[in-house]
Amino acid sequence: MSFNSPPVEALKTSLPEAELIEKIRHVHVIGIRSKTKLTETILREAKNLLVIGCFCIGTNQVDLDYAAKQGIAVFNSPLQILVVWPSW
């Protein structure tokens, strides 16, 4: 059995709205940091999007009402941005 999955793309910076719209059209999952804003305008183009992971403090950069209406799950993982130092 073979499993064909699309590639994972990691970007180091946030994208301008037009570029983000172009990239989000075919994705099922997106992970964002605080500088990326997912407005209704952008989410309207994300026809295959199932889940948004916010790897920052809060989810205020996502239009949560629109995401909920479309059945797009949104989660927050703020601890992902912390650096943990060993206490020796």
Confidence at residue 83, expressed as pLDDT on a 0 to 100 scale: 54
- Helices and strands (H, E) in the chain, number of each type: 3, 3
Give the per-residue pLDDT at 35: 94
Per-residue pLDDT of the chain (88 residues; tens, 9 = 90+): 455 666 788 888 999 999 999 999 999 999 999 999 999 999 999 999 999 999 988 999 999 999 999 999 999 988 755 555 555 5
Q: Which domains are seen in the chain, by residue range?
A: 17-81 (3.40.50.720)
Q: Please, what's the b/e burial string for 3-35 (b: 16 or more CB within 10 A of its CB; e: otherwise)? A: eeeeeeeeeeeeeeeeebbeebeebeebbbeee
Distance separating alpha carbons of residues 62 and 54, to the nearest angstrom? 9
pLDDT at 29: 94
